Amino acid sequence: MSEESINIILQHFNELIPLNQKESKLVSEKFHYRLYRKNHYLLQEGDICRNYHFIIKGCVRMHRVDKAGKIHTLQFAAENSWITEINSFYNLESTIINIDALEQTEVLQISRDDLISLYRLAPKFDRIFRILTEINLSKLQQRHLQAISCSAEERYTSFLEAYPMLQGRISQVHIAAFLGITPEFLCRMRSRKSKSRLQES
């Protein structure tokens, strides 16, 4: 694992709750570097999720393919963010979810056993991961509310605000699957927004 990678995750933790030297050393011991090529899977349907992933560089998506073959994207994760299939990770159950790399992606990952060990050796991490879980729960609730009460245009605006780092990096097909609309409708909607901005200027 490179010193740069460990420094990135340590800075991330320190912004939540500052770590001491012993706690920083534990991060170096418990987290492991992994490189995923574009289109490779971090997790596939039917598997048990074994790792919690912190994205150093790149972008991944969490999605499900329904019986009709339609893709439903649940989450994107890019630099300095976390992703795991939480139910499978904690309950050791097979998943119906996929997580795949949309770009070549570098992650630091920690296994369930190592995370539990980290909680025991340094209780501060229990608080850190509770904060991370609360942040993700808040985002999930906001996304659910948008799905039942907001227009496609409003959901798209919220997407741009939530994932500014992804503009120009992922395809319209992936964005449409996240918004619950067709790529064609997304294209028309983006065209209308672009014309509106030109008229305002």
Asked whether the predicted pLDDT for residue 1 surpasses 70, the reply is: no
Position 177 confidence tier, pLDDT thresholds 50, 70, 90: very high
Q: Tell the burial category of 176 from Cβ atoms under 10 Å away from its Cβ (0-12, 13-18, 19+).
A: buried
pLDDT digits (tens, 9 = 90+) for 97-113: 999 999 999 999 999 99
Nearest to 74 by CA among 84, 86, 66, 64: 64
d(CA 167, CA 178): 14
pTM exceeds 0.75, yes or no:
yes
Q: What is the CATH architecture assignment of 3-148?
A: Sandwich (2.60)
Q: In this predicted structure, what is the pLDDT of residue 120?
A: 97
Q: In this predicted structure, what is the pLDDT of residue 71?
A: 92
Backbone φ and ψ for 93, nearest 5 degrees, come out as -105, 150
Average pLDDT over residues 61-71: 94
Could you tell me if 27 and 13 are in contact, meaning their C-beta atoms sit under 8 angstroms apart? yes
Q: In this predicted structure, what is the pLDDT of residue 127?
A: 96
Q: Per mean pLDDT, which range of 46-50, 74-78, 192-196 is the poorest? A: 192-196
Asked whether the predicted pLDDT for residue 124 surpasses 70, the reply is: yes
Distances from the Cα of 71 to the Cα of 29, 40, 56, 66, 179, angstroms: 37, 17, 26, 7, 11
Q: Per mean pLDDT, which range of 61-70, 119-128, 139-148, 185-194 is the poorest? A: 185-194
- Percent of the chain past pLDDT 90, that is, above it, reads 82
Q: In this predicted structure, what is the pLDDT of residue 200?
A: 65
